[in-house]
Homo-oligomer: A and B are copies of this chain.
Amino acid sequence: MKFCSNCGSKVSLQVPAGDDRERHVCAECETIHYQNPRIIAGCLPTYEDKVLLCKRAIEPRYGLWTLPAGFMENGESTEQGALRESWEEARAEIHLHGLYTLFSLPHINQVYMLFRGELANLNFAPGIESLEVDLFTEDQVPWDQLAFPVMHKTLRYYFADRPRQAFPIRSETIARSKPPIG
């Protein structure tokens, strides 16, 4: 951030009075521009013993598989965001069951919120951001071609929890991946 979105003047990093961290502050109009983490809302859609995955048609991670998820929009709830993304990416209609995994990624200022849900029908199809959409049993999941660690973890938790049909919420912080040593 270089310019004030309110008045167009240059902003500078300052610690505002009563605050304890640097913000982008406009000296002209005195607006303080706070920046906060963004939510990525998504679904783990299930059908019988299978899960629905989307093959990404966009970067990053083009061609890898993911659960439908994306940035939550203003004016919607977290559940609406999860359902909207499932429709946009997989034309999937889902009965939501509740929040299942919650991941903080502080190094990129993101919070993932993934909900479990059951497919309402089998009319799924690739949306514009997907190359393919399909159902996978645990053995069929392309474990080495998943797009993001949060999706890998969510799927692992799901298949571990499913035999007991108990799905406690899983909350984790994922730190920046470290470069290999040596």
Q: Which residues of A contact B (CB under 8 A)?
A: 1-11, 18, 21, 24, 33-39, 71-80, 98-99, 102, 104, 106-107, 109, 111, 128, 169, 171, 173
Contact = CB atoms under 8 A, between A and B. Distances in A.
A140 to B, nearest CB: 30
4 A-B pairs with least C-beta separation: A77-B104, A3-B8, A77-B173, A74-B109
A8 B106 CA distance: 28
B104 A36 contact: no
B8 A171 contact: no
A99 B3 contact: no
B6 A3 contact: yes
B5 A72 contact: no
Given A36-B39, A39-B39, A99-B169, A76 B1 contact: no
